[in-house]
């Protein structure tokens, strides 16, 4: 897994479906962070791919997180099957011809199953349309091609929607991600990073003859982080995703109390022993939060900014 901020989800649409086992081993070896599975029903988009049984089969083949991207007309009808199939996140389109009420219910089901619910926006839909749903979303997926087919050209004018999506999430300190999907490659990763993307979905660029998959994935992550550093980070390197930071060291009771207060803010907290038991005496506990939420946590809980050890 990369050390930086951006993460790559591989779309297998352009892979050899005759040998999914080999494809997945290859993607794992190349260091992809997640898999992005495109489900199409021939109604919502003019193309057909696969359904929940294939998702379940892929689940059995890998431990990588599975992002299921439903390009189907009736997400409410099939969501239970995709939950059972072992998805980690389920994202469907806001353009799906179902009522707002039904969409909210579908997102709620995904949340109840403790998976990440998401909505995708096609190029002609403004990000603003997501407003009524934002509280129920962990994922916003920005389409940079018309949904339906792999291998299309990245629509550059859609990139600012990534920042708009992040802004919509912003009041929430943790637990959301903006994905970008369609035509992402070494040529377009940087602009996605400039607008603050979290997850880059990469399909056909990974499956080109003569190209090294590992290098392609590393390049996409690197260039996205490069763009982030220049436009958002004011020259500072991004805070690595998936890293935890110590925000306090306290006696056990107090540490547990603090962790509960942190979690009330919507931030996950870990409590661990600061060292081994010495002559039966319990050591103090360290309290940790995701690095990306450190500043917020320290500010919100008035913990101060004393430098602590990184993990």
Residues acting as catalytic residues? 38, 181
DSSP secondary structure letter of residue 155? -
178 near ligand DX5, judged by CB under 6 A: no
Q: CA-CA-CA-CA torsion for 45, 111, 175, 87, nearest 10 degrees? A: -60
**Continuous segment of H or E residues that includes residue 39:** strand 34-40
Closest to 252 measured CA to CA, from 272, 230, 234:
272
33 near ligand DX5, judged by CB under 6 A: no
Alpha helices by DSSP H, the chain: 20-30, 52-61, 75-84, 100-112, 160-169, 189-194, 213-231, 252-264, 294-300
Window contacting ligand DX5 (CB under 6 A); options: 20-28, 78-86, 197-205, 271-279: 197-205
Return d(Cα 93, Cα 71) in angstroms, integer: 6
Cβ proximity to ligand DX5: between 58 and 247 the closer is 58
Window contacting ligand DX5 (CB under 6 A); options: 7-15, 26-34, 223-231, 262-270: 7-15
* Binder of ligand DX5 out of 62, 76, 125, 204 (CB under 6 A): 204
* Binder of ligand DX5 out of 10, 15, 64, 202 (CB under 6 A): 202
Sheet strands (E) in 60-202: 66-71, 89-93, 116-121, 139-143, 177-181, 199-202
Q: How many CA atoms lie within 13 Å of 77's alpha carbon, on the beta-carbon side?
A: 9
Cβ proximity to ligand DX5: between 36 and 285 the closer is 36
CB of 136 to ligand DX5, least distance (A): 21
CB of 68 to Zn ion, least distance (A): 9
151 near ligand DX5, judged by CB under 6 A: yes
Which positions from 16 through 55 interact with Zn ion, judged by CB under 5 A? 38
The entry of ligand DX5, Zn ion, none that residue 267 binds, CB within 5 to 8 Å by partner kind? none
Binding mask 107-136 for Zn ion (x = CB under 5 A): ------------------------------
Window contacting ligand DX5 (CB under 6 A); options: 145-153, 220-228, 250-258, 298-306: 145-153
Q: Quick check: 91 and 59 in contact, CB under 8 A? A: no
* Class of residue 126 by CB neighbours under 10 A (exposed 0-12, middle 13-18, buried 19+): exposed
Token pair for 217: 């994935």
Q: Which residue has the tokens 């988009």?
A: 45
Binding mask 133-172 for Zn ion (x = CB under 5 A): ----------------------------------------
181 near Zn ion, judged by CB under 5 A: yes
CA dihedral sign, ordered 253, 254, 259, 263: positive
CB of 91 to Zn ion, least distance (A): 8
* Binder of ligand DX5 out of 4, 75, 183, 290 (CB under 6 A): 183
Q: Quick check: 176 and 292 in contact, CB under 8 A? A: no
Return d(Cα 120, Cα 102) in angstroms, integer: 16
Measured at CB, which residue is nearest to ligand DX5? 203
145 near ligand DX5, judged by CB under 6 A: yes
213 near ligand DX5, judged by CB under 6 A: no
Interacting residue ranges for ligand DX5, rule: CB under 6 A: 11, 13-14, 36, 38, 69, 71, 145, 147-152, 181-184, 201-205
């Amino acid at each position: 897994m990369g050390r930086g901020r951006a993460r790559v989800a591989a779309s297998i649409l352009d892979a050899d479906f005759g040998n999914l086992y080999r494809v997945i081993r290859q993607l794992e070896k190349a260091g992809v962070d997640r898999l992005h599975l495109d489900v199409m029903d021939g109604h919502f988009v003019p193309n057909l791919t696969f359904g929940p049984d294939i998702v379940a089969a892929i689940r059995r083949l890998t431990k990588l997180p599975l992002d299921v991207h439903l390009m189907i007309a009736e997400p409410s009808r099939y969501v239970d099957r995709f939950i059972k199939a072992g998805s980690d996140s389920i994202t469907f389109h806001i353009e799906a011809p179902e009522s707002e009420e039904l969409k909210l219910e579908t997102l709620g089901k995904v949340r109840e199953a403790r998976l990440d619910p998401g909505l995708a926006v096609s190029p002609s839909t403004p990000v603003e349309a997501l407003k009524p749903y934002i509280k129920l979303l962990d994922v916003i997926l920005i389409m940079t091609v018309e949904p339906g087919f792999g291998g299309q050209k990245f629509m550059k004018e859609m990139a600012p929607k990534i920042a708009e999506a992040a802004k919509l999430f912003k009041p929430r300190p943790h637990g959301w991600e903006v994905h970008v999907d369609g035509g992402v490659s070494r040529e377009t990763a940087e602009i996605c990073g400039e607008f603050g993307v979290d997850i880059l979905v990469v399909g056909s660029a990974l499956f080109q003859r003569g190209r090294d998959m590992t290098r392609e994935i590393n390049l996409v992550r690197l260039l996205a982080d490069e763009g982030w550093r220049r436009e958002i980070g004011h020259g500072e390197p991004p805070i690595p995703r998936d890293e935890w930071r110590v925000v306090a060291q306290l006696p056990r009771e107090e540490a547990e109390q603090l962790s509960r207060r942190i979690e009330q803010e919507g931030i996950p907290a870990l409590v661990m022993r600061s060292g081994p038991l010495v002559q039966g005496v319990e050591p103090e506990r360290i309290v940790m939060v995701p690095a990306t939420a450190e500043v917020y946590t320290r500010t919100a809980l008035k913990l101060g900014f004393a430098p602590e050890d990184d993990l």
